[in-house]
């Protein structure tokens, strides 16, 4: 049976092209193909298991209505007509009695497909006048920093890392997420490139690195400022570049000036000599590239930390050569305007920051939420302060719809449950924030059970609520055309995509400050943007120490098993909290015991793994775990604060401070 083709729309920078094996109408295997050059014929182990996700026992097969207590997962099968009528009736009632803002759509990242998020769904919620969701759980502060400094200039192409003489992986673990960066790094290293990894965990790349800095979580800002200050003190600033291409350098360097290497080393708890070595390597190497990840943003100083990291290539003049500069998100590379498919302008209704969804769902929130519509997401497994969200989901006066592919932890609290198609069962348009491709894919198999696509369901609700209008783009082709028509370069992209059912367009790999320049109004780097300076408490680059009565930092990084919480149902093995041997010995804990991890927000009961994978003072429980992974159904999200980053409204997962003790 010949393989057919598709494209992975999951929340990953690589945007792989896929080869899909189908037998008797069922998907039997997925692998990478070569159409996206970055895919290079291989994909991650997560998506290789996609058939298990599609046909596993957790897959939702038909609509259902709650039959029992919230959270217990009892449901009664109903027809699509009954389910949609119930939802439409409730949406209309709540809107008429409480106003549209009492309706909250909630979801993020379950699919990065352009047709599955921010298309007909946005049309429905905009026309209802629903509350707007700030999708800030990831990349919001780093996105604000990249926008403020560089106007989101396109980054160094991941393939071009092989040309670098120094690669810095800062707060990113490509071995777990974005695996296609690993081969270019390896090729560069075979040619003699140095590798520096900055991460509190001994990641696979950290184990091989020439230098691994394992700072205390939340101290990336002092480190970056100290490097800036060292560059200034050691004649390693590229003043000609700064004069020609930047503004705000003097202010940045003035704010970095108090940060000596020794002071930063003390706060970050890394050896001073290692920090000096990093500064020397960075100052002396060319091409030098920083892969700036999302680990550094997940704390109260996260926006300023990312801004300071992104400032370093400008200060040291690392641009102008292939393989030199930085990579953050490349989301502007293709400049698509997905919301053009909504065919409805943005409203000015209240904005709910998804990192504070629990606060919004509280009974005394103003205005209260009466309808929660969850899709493309599993808030209980992905958002901070999960126990507050759970309390909201248990509210008897909250009507909750969950539209998902599988029975998630959040789905158990639904009043109405709707089965969603996967990307192999519906049309999709996939762009990327890493690879420079855009791909159009078609269904390769019929939907499992009665699953329906987002387009289909949100379109049906628009019809029932009499919110549909003549001329609304509705079919996949109409929606794709609407997105491309509203996008810079859309005509060229549409032409390329028209050549086949699955096509892709590639933009030339840029060389920063040769073929690609800041997209700021004056095409200069703004090293101290006024809007970020006024947004950050104490000003941009101001470091705020976190004081807590709980002694251990809890980090919850991406794992090789899940994409955020997607595929969490497939891993039946219990999770383990990883703790450094020194911290375990200090508490009389040994490998394999069951511990209680707790703070003021909640507690998690889980087995312990004693391992120097984590640095002293840090414990680790992976991101995206489902309730079944721990002994009491709580996860790291139950312990994560819902305070926000210094700007950008981002999540502060790594500000979780906890204590660990033997579960008595």
Interface pick for ligand SF4 out of 4, 5, 6, 8 (rule CB under 6 A) = 8
Tell me how far, at minimum, the Cβ of 13 lies from ligand SF4, in Å: 7
Which CB, 30 or 658, lies closer to ligand SF4? 30
CA nearest neighbour of 653 among 385, 381, 465: 385
Interface mask (CB under 6 A) for ligand SF4, residues 99-138, using x and -?
----------------------------------------
Which CB, 566 or 654, lies closer to ligand SF4? 566
Stretch that binds ligand SF4, among 44-52, 123-131, 134-142, 445-453 (CB under 6 A): 44-52
Tokens 């899909």: give the residue: 20
Tell me how far, at minimum, the Cβ of 34 lies from ligand SF4, in Å: 13
Which CB, 304 or 562, lies closer to ligand SF4? 562
Per the CB < 8 A criterion, the answer to whether 314 and 241 are in contact is yes
Tell me how far, at minimum, the Cβ of 423 lies from ligand SF4, in Å: 10
Q: How far does Cα 370 stand from its chain's mean position?
A: 27
Tell me how far, at minimum, the Cβ of 624 lies from ligand SF4, in Å: 13
Interface mask (CB under 6 A) for ligand SF4, residues 140-179, using x and -?
---------------------------------------x
Tell me how far, at minimum, the Cβ of 177 lies from ligand SF4, in Å: 7
Stretch that binds ligand SF4, among 13-21, 121-129, 282-290, 569-577 (CB under 6 A): 13-21
Tell me how far, at minimum, the Cβ of 276 lies from ligand SF4, in Å: 36
Stretch that binds ligand SF4, among 9-17, 57-65, 499-507, 618-626 (CB under 6 A): 9-17
Interface pick for ligand SF4 out of 16, 195, 360, 532 (rule CB under 6 A) = 16
Q: How far does Cα 73 stand from its chain's mean position?
A: 28
Task: Give CA separation, 552 vs 218, 357, 592, in Å.
Answer: 13, 26, 19
Classify burial at 182, counting beta carbons within 10 Å of its beta carbon; exposed 0-12, middle 13-18, buried 19 or more: middle
Stretch that binds ligand SF4, among 41-49, 218-226, 317-325, 539-547 (CB under 6 A): 41-49
Cα(416)–Cα(384) distance, integer angstroms: 24
Which CB, 12 or 147, lies closer to ligand SF4? 12
Tell me how far, at minimum, the Cβ of 10 lies from ligand SF4, in Å: 5
State the greatest distance between any 2 C-alpha atoms of the chain, in Å, as a whole number: 72
Tokens 């709540």: give the residue: 94
The continuous run of DSSP H or E covering 424 comes out as none
Give 372's strand partners: 104, 400
Tell me how far, at minimum, the Cβ of 569 lies from ligand SF4, in Å: 16
Alpha helices, DSSP H, located in 449-600: 454-464, 476-485, 490-497, 530-535, 581-586
Q: Dig out the tokens for 244 from the structure.
A: 């020609």
Residue 12, interface with ligand SF4 (CB under 6 A)? yes
Tell me how far, at minimum, the Cβ of 7 lies from ligand SF4, in Å: 8
Alpha helices, DSSP H, located in 269-371: 272-284, 302-315, 357-361
Per the CB < 8 A criterion, the answer to whether 197 and 206 are in contact is yes
- Bridging pattern class, strands 371-375 and 75-77: unpaired
Which CB, 105 or 155, lies closer to ligand SF4? 155
Tell me how far, at minimum, the Cβ of 171 lies from ligand SF4, in Å: 18
User: Hey, which residues between 556 and 615 contact ligand SF4 (CB under 6 A)?
Assistant: 563
Cα(352)–Cα(343) distance, integer angstroms: 22
Per the CB < 8 A criterion, the answer to whether 158 and 172 are in contact is no
Which CB, 30 or 597, lies closer to ligand SF4? 30
Residue 341, interface with ligand SF4 (CB under 6 A)? no
Interface pick for ligand SF4 out of 20, 27, 43, 128 (rule CB under 6 A) = 43
Which CB, 561 or 657, lies closer to ligand SF4? 561
Tokens 């995509």: give the residue: 497
**E strands present in 376-470:** 399-404, 416-419, 428-430, 439-441
CA nearest neighbour of 638 among 598, 579, 595: 598
Tell me how far, at minimum, the Cβ of 46 lies from ligand SF4, in Å: 6
Interface pick for ligand SF4 out of 4, 5, 19, 44 (rule CB under 6 A) = 44
Question: How many residues line the site for ligand SF4 (CB under 6 A)?
Answer: 12
Interface mask (CB under 6 A) for ligand SF4, residues 47-86, using x and -?
x---------------------------------------
Which CB, 42 or 538, lies closer to ligand SF4? 42
| Ramachandran region, residue 564 (left: φ > 0; alpha: ψ -120 to 50; beta: rest) | left
CA nearest neighbour of 579 among 515, 649, 659: 659
Classify burial at 210, counting beta carbons within 10 Å of its beta carbon; exposed 0-12, middle 13-18, buried 19 or more: middle
Stretch that binds ligand SF4, among 12-20, 352-360, 502-510, 551-559 (CB under 6 A): 12-20
User: Hey, which residues between 378 and 437 contact ligand SF4 (CB under 6 A)?
Assistant: none
Cα(323)–Cα(478) distance, integer angstroms: 39
Tell me how far, at minimum, the Cβ of 178 lies from ligand SF4, in Å: 7
CA nearest neighbour of 642 among 375, 408, 392: 392
CA nearest neighbour of 51 among 71, 25, 72: 25
Residue 35, interface with ligand SF4 (CB under 6 A)? no
Cα(125)–Cα(337) distance, integer angstroms: 18
Which CB, 176 or 579, lies closer to ligand SF4? 176
Which CB, 105 or 434, lies closer to ligand SF4? 434
Which CB, 14 or 526, lies closer to ligand SF4? 14
Cα(58)–Cα(483) distance, integer angstroms: 33
Which residues are near ligand SF4 by CB under 6 A?
Answer: 8, 10, 12, 14-16, 43-44, 46-47, 179, 563
């Amino acid at each position: 049976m010949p393989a057919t083709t598709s494209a992975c729309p999951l929340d990953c920078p690589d945007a792989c092209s896929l080869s899909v094996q189908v037998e008797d109408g069922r998907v039997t295997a997925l692998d990478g193909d070569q159409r996206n050059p970055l895919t290079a014929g291989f994909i991650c182990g997560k998506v290789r298991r996609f058939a298990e996700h599609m046909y596993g026992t957790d897959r939702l097969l038909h609509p259902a209505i709650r039959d029992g207590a919230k959270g217990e997962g009892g449901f009664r099968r109903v027809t699509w007509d009954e389910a949609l009528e119930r939802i439409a009736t409730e949406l209309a009632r709540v809107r008429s009695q409480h106003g549209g803002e009492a309706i909250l759509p909630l979801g993020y990242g379950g699919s990065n497909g352009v047709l599955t998020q921010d298309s007909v769904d946005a049309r429905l919620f905009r026309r209802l006048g629903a509350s707007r969701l700030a999708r800030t759980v990831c990349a919001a502060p780093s996105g604000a920093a990249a926008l403020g400094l560089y106007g989101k200039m396109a980054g160094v192409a991941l393939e071009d890392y092989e040309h670098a003489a120094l690669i810095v992986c800062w707060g990113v673990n490509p071995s777990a997420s974005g695996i296609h960066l690993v081969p270019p790094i390896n090729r560069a290293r075979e040619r003699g490139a140095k590798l520096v990894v900055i991460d509190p965990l001994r990641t696979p790349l950290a184990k091989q690195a020439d230098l691994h800095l394992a700072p205390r979580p939340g101290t990336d800002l002092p480190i970056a400022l100290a490097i800036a200050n060292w560059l200034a003190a050691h004649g390693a600033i590229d003043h000609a570049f700064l004069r020609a291409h930047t503004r705000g350098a003097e202010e940045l360097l003035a704010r970095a000036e108090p940060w000596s290497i020794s002071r930063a080393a003390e706060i970050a708890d890394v050896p001073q000599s290692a920090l000096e070595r990093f500064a020397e390597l960075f100052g002396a190497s060319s091409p030098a590239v920083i892969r700036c990840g999302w680990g550094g943003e997940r704390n109260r100083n996260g926006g300023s930390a990312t801004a300071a990291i992104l400032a370093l290539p400008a200060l040291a003049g690392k641009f102008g050569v292939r393989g030199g500069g930085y990579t953050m998100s490349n989301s502007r590379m293709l400049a698509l305007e997905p919301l053009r498919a909504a065919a409805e302008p943005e409203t000015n209704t209240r904005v709910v920051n998804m990192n504070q969804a629990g606060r919004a769902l509280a009974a005394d929130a103003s205005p209260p939420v009466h309808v929660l519509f969850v899709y493309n997401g599993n808030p209980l497994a992905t958002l901070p302060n999960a126990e507050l969200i759970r309390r909201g989901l248990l509210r008897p006066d909250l009507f909750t719809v969950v539209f998902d592919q599988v029975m998630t932890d959040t789905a158990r609290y639904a009043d109405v449950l709707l089965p969603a198609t996967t990307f192999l069962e519906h049309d999709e348009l996939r762009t990327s924030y890493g690879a420079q491709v855009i791909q159009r894919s078609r269904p390769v198999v019929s939907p499992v059970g009665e699953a329906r696509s987002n387009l289909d369901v949100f379109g049906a609700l628009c019809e029932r609520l009499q919110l549909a209008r003549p001329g609304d783009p509705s079919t996949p082709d109409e929606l794709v055309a609407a997105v491309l028509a509203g996008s810079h370069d859309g005509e060229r992209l549409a032409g390329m995509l028209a050549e086949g059912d699955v096509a892709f367009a590639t933009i030339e790999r840029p060389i920063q400050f040769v073929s690609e320049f800041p997209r700021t109004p004056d095409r200069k780097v703004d090293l101290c943007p006024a809007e970020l300076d006024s947004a950050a408490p104490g000003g941009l680059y101001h470091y705020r120490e976190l004081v807590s009565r709980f002694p251990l930092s809890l980090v919850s990084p991406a794992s090789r098993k899940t994409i955020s919480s997607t595929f969490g149902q497939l891993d039946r093995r219990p999770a383990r909290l990883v703790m450094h041997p020194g911290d375990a010995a200090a508490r009389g804990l040994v490998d394999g015991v069951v511990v209680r991890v707790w703070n003021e927000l909640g507690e998690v009961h889980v087995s312990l793994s004693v391992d120097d994978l984590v640095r002293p003072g840090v414990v680790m429980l992976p991101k995206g775990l489902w309730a079944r992974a721990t002994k009491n159904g709580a996860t790291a999200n139950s312990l994560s604060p819902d305070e926000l980053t210094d700007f950008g409204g981002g999540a502060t997962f790594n500000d979780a401070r906890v204590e660990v003790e033997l579960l008595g």
